[in-house]
């Protein structure tokens, strides 16, 4: 949550896991995964002390247990029913990547049917977008269809964070594509989806926490510039790329980056987060 604090947010963090180290370390990790009953207890304590009534944003990332996820749903529904100020909910639906699940595949239906309908913004990677939309994404047209399907579930902003296409005309050789779609609804019920994309070079290596950082930056910049998605994407993607580059350069052996080396250099990148460079062009589809 450090990036959000730099962007001027007061942040309270509830850890869904308490691990010895991130999961990219070669010797594994130790620790515990919070369950739904523990989360309820924490939320109860926050509410009793008046620490939850003024919450205006909620960001969720990795959640490893079904009852934890359903407790988040319950909290959002109860908060909505009280008539309190609406929470803007950013959901990073962490399921897996590269064709593999990090969590039980049973969480897919919970995200799709219960969580995402309550979300304002979602940030799935390619694998997650495919699981949630039921659409295999091989090209940009597939990506557009997946965005539409995810909009139909509920969120107004869908950002697919890591698309790679075999078609070099669509993505350029050695690049990753970020695809963002915002849905606007008129008073007569008509919908209009505006889609934007940006290509970035792929920096070789394995970097844990990139999805978390993306979601946090997106929350921050969409709150500051809610009506300028291209600028938001420029800032988020350029910040992310720059921090990964700093992390890569920090490694003593850039050609053989070990999993345990790349702790993202967030503190060292404070100036980048504060004043991100605008490195990449955002184009409209």
* Number of domains making up the chain: 1
- Phi and psi of 90, rounded to 5°? -105, 120
Domain extent for 261: 2-284
Nearest 10 degrees: Cα torsion 211, 217, 219, 225: -140
Q: Which uninterrupted H or E stretch holds 194?
A: strand 191-201
What CATH number does the domain containing 168 carry? 3.40.1190.20
Instruction: Assign 169 a pLDDT band (cuts: 50, 70, 90).
Output: very low
Q: What is the pLDDT of residues 76-129, one digit of tens each?
A: 998 888 767 788 999 999 999 989 998 899 999 999 999 999 999 999 999 999
Whether the CA torsion 25, 26, 30, 31 is positive or negative: it is positive
Alpha carbons 263 and 7: distance in angstroms, whole number: 21
Any bridge partners for residue 17, and if so which? 33
- Model pTM? 0.89
Catalytic (active-site) positions? 212
- Contact of 128 with 96, CB cutoff 8 Å: yes
Token pair in block for residue 86: 């609406």
């Amino acid at each position: 949550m450090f990036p959000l604090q730099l962007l001027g947010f007061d942040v309270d963090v509830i850890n869904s896991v308490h691990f010895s180290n991130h999961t990219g370390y070669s010797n594994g990790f130790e620790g515990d995964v919070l369950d739904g009953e523990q989360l309820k207890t924490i939320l109860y304590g926050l509410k009793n002390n008046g620490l939850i009534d003024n919450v205006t944003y909620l960001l969720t990332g990795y959640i490893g247990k079904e009852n934890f996820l359903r407790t988040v749903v319950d909290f959002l529904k109860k908060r909505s029913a009280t008539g309190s100020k609406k929470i803007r909910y950013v959901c990073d639906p962490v399921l897996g990547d590269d064709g593999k699940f990090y969590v039980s595949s049973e969480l897919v239906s919970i995200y799709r049917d219960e969580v995402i309908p309550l979300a304002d913004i979602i940030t799935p990677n390619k694998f997650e977008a495919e699981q949630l939309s039921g659409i295999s994404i091989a090209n940009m047209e597939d990506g557009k269809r997946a965005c539409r399907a995810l909009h139909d579930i509920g969120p107004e902003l869908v950002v697919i964070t890591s698309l790679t296409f075999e078609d070099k005309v669509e993505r350029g050789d050695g690049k990753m594509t970020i695809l963002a779609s915002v849905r606007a609804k008129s008073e007569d019920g008509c919908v209009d989806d505006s889609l934007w994309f940006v290509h970035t070079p792929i920096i070789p290596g394995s970097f844990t926490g990139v999805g978390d950082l993306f979601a946090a930056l997106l929350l921050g910049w969409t709150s500051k510039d809610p009506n300028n998605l291209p600028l938001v994407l420029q800032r988020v993607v350029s910040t992310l790329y720059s921090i990964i580059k700093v992390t890569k350069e920090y490694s003593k052996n850039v050609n053989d980056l070990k999993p345990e080396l790349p702790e993202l250099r967030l503190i060292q990148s404070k100036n980048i987060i504060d004043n991100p460079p605008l490195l990449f062009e955002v184009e409209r589809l």
